[in-house]
Structure 1
């Protein structure tokens, strides 16, 4: 076994120990192995072993790049999160499409952004999508959704007829146009976290990334003129001339807002706090950690002091599911 393999396994052990604290929060009849099988479309031993051979994964089509995070110093007036006292923090970013097909077309509407913000002593990871609407509020519904969508139109229709949350998701995606760039797409953390205030109170909130250059979508005519692979080249070419920038906000919940169900949207008039800016400029793209970041885990419950996970079962299942998927790709 190589030294690198030992290092990877050591990281898995560390992540596993972190996730044990939250395993009681994702009660489900399904195991993590079954959940990952549903996502990968590997329902039996033969397909599972075939998937391991090709290192099957979700968000298979993607690429990594780099930049930094510039916290908003005024955030200290509201929240007690020492991590954000730093002036500039390295960012590793992975942009991707959904699904297990590494050759998926960029002409679909889904856009995904995962970030690692690595501070001096602590880290903060994000796993986000361009849809604020999630399709399942618990792991059993998540499992059912993944199984049914892989059955094609018949399975999708079953979800529409039997699962209101899945129907709301399909209705949203149906009217969502493809963005012209990863840089011109907003991204949402559909799960809730708990933030510590300056008064030592706890307030629930959700992450929102808004593109500084605004949202730019493609018409069907524009889309038809593009190749199936345009997003990676567009972003990497763009950041050679000017960085891609997002303003990061925390959208705060109010008393009656549902915290632990990612399918429930909060009203638009909820207070938002500006956390800072994500600046993607490719400045460290030649580093090995950036070039291999697609092989790592973006762990959304690896959090700095002052931020803790909510009891959302989807959120608390992410780390063990990512670990299971990661192990299969070793």
Structure 2
């Protein structure tokens, strides 16, 4: 893992000459995130061309001071770097290879150009696209971004890059214009996989938070008080920020709070939820996982040993 700046520091900014030395950069996909990212690249001094299929989007970005195109082939012609920031992998494939695999942006890039796929797409299709680009003599890394549009606009995105070390190094000046945290996750395909793990955790957390607040409301509790209290507990702050680093991730599953007691508590909560008609779907699944601890010989281990239980079930090698 590597970061562009220490935590809490001002974002690193590349020397404009270093950015321009990359050669022409075509940026395809100028939605909320992509438009903010292109704006930062232009501001940092990159030689950019933007592209989007939406006339309204191009009009919104008309003040950028760089050429804008509706056709990705026009934007990519002769470019040394092509960035894709698109809704799906199908859009990326169409931009790169065109209809029926012919006539796309990949065909008009400079020799040895670097394609940086920053979309959140299908991991296996991302692998296939990268292999096809490599067969065409093009370099490719997957580098999806994290955080919010507001942080992207401020140049404080998170970049999770998967690819060869030299390719990620080549892209680093560009990333430094976009992000304050740049992580080289591993080989090609690693970036999109970590992004999907992150999004899985985030979206399940959305449901869990909604369930908890709904449960509290069904019990007649004051929402502001509930939010205030939960914001100070491990439940609200998140296990990765509280218990996991000090227990299971440190190799310690001696019980601060055993899985046996975790089962008791979630069972009590589920019974209370049933009495007031609060649907807790995630709670039902979690109770079943806690119930397995006894048969797997883990009921007296710390609750964070849930990680080991699930790894047992998934046959994750240790």
Normalised by the length of structure 2, the TM-score is 0.24
Between the two structures, name the one with larger relative contact order (CA 8 Å, sep ≥ 6): 1
Q: Of Structure 1 and Structure 2, which has the larger fraction of its residues in strand?
A: 1
Structure number with larger C-alpha Rg: 2
Normalised by the length of structure 1, the TM-score is 0.23
